[in-house]
Amino acid sequence: MLNGEPWVAYRTRVDLLRQPEDDPQVVAARQATLAHPQIRALLTELAEWPGPPLKRHNDAGHLLHKLVFIAEVGLRVDDPDVAVIAERVLVCQSAQGPFQVLTNIPVHFGGSGRDEANWMLCDAPLLLYALVKLGLGDEARVQAAVMYLAGLVRDNGWPCAGAPEMGNFHGPGRASDPCPYANLLMLKLLAELPTWRDSAAARAGAEAALGLWTQRKERRPYLFAMGTDFAKLKAPLIWYDILHVLDVLTRFPWLYEDPRLREMAALVVEKVDVEGRFTPESVWMAWKAWDFGQKRAPSRWLTLLVVRMLGRLSTTNPHEFPRMGNGIRAHLC
């Protein structure tokens, strides 16, 4: 992982080895990340925000998911070209507060069939999450948007919801059900905000997510199932799958002892190879040029995501995943 792509080395040093940002090795890895052709290509694309309309929220090649990726790699608003991209997002703010993406919902799905600036709970939290990760969490427009979206929570988590201009549109499910994906994205956002991380809203959303895991054989609200495809390891973390759910839920320390969370994590640990590495079991073709865009060999980035997630859980029980722990020690220490 330290000898791979610079963004993997950077995040490994910061997230796993706990090296400070001003450590010379961290600085070098970060500078190499900023200069890498694949990262530069993403920034060039993102300079055209909002880009083509979003027609389905699991369009892995859409600029929305590329924005999230550069934020998760560790780019910041004071890096070259990033401020311009962030401002293009910030100017597209709705009257309610959430930021908008250009969408086109087909008529047969209940939309207008036209390109329109709108927001839904399956995209607006991701935009905010990216802005917060880029360093704009204290920005007044961002805080207003967070407050509005957090206020949409119900006792059973976040529903399928969207801008008032969309009327009664919602996905293929009962209006009383939580939307598993929207709920996940809201948790992902609130986990990044210290004032919201331990809130009643976050706890309601986490209980909804874990309750869906417990009831996975009986329930699939809004057609989000937790079956064979859900259990496949995949990166980047774009849709509703086991690693994405675990990556989000393990950001809440008060969940670490929850047996449902640990049961889910144990399924991922079973996929480790003898050298402590993980291989993608499913891929996004839009990311086929990246190390996680193939299923033939272990992926450094995917391995980082899994090891980081398990590292959070190991703070309360370091012996629960001994095989994984041995792999980490052998290859990082």
**Residues 49, 191 within the same domain:** yes
- Read off the tokens for 89: 């997002």
Q: Do residue 244 and residue 301 come from a single domain? A: yes
Assess whether 86 and 178 both reside in one domain: yes
- What is the C-alpha to C-alpha distance for residues 257 and 274, in angstroms, rounded to an integer? 27
The verdict on residue 286 lying in a domain is yes
- What is residue 317's predicted lDDT score, i.e. its pLDDT? 62
Is residue 250 a contact partner of residue 313, using CB atoms and an 8 Å limit?
A: yes
pLDDT at 330: 40
Blockwise average pLDDT, block size 10, the chain, 333 residues: 96 98 98 98 98 94 98 97 97 97 80 88 97 98 98 97 84 91 98 98 98 96 96 98 98 97 98 97 98 98 98 75 46 38
Residue 154 lies in a domain: yes
Among 184, 200, 216, the domain boundary falls at 200
Separation CA 76–CA 143 (nearest Å) = 18
Q: How many domains does the chain have?
A: 2
Residues in the chain: 333
Q: Which domain holds residue 265?
A: 227-333
Measured CA to CA, the distance from residue 97 to residue 92 in angstroms comes to 10
CA angle 288, 266, 328 (to 5 degrees): 70
**128: its two tokens:** 């905010």
**Rounded Cα gap, residues 103 and 108, in angstroms:** 15
**Predicted local distance difference test score (pLDDT) of residue 327:** 47
Residue in 248, 242, 239, 241 with CA at minimum distance from that of residue 286: 239
* 98 and 180 part of one domain: yes
In this prediction, residue 326 carries a pLDDT of 46
Is residue 209 in some structural domain? no
What burial class does residue 90 get, using C-beta atoms within 10 Å of its C-beta: 0-12 exposed, 13-18 middle, 19+ buried? middle
63 and 161, same domain (yes or no): yes
Q: What is the pTM for the complete model shown? A: 0.94
Q: Within this chain, do residues 65 and 156 fall inside the same structural domain, yes or no?
A: yes
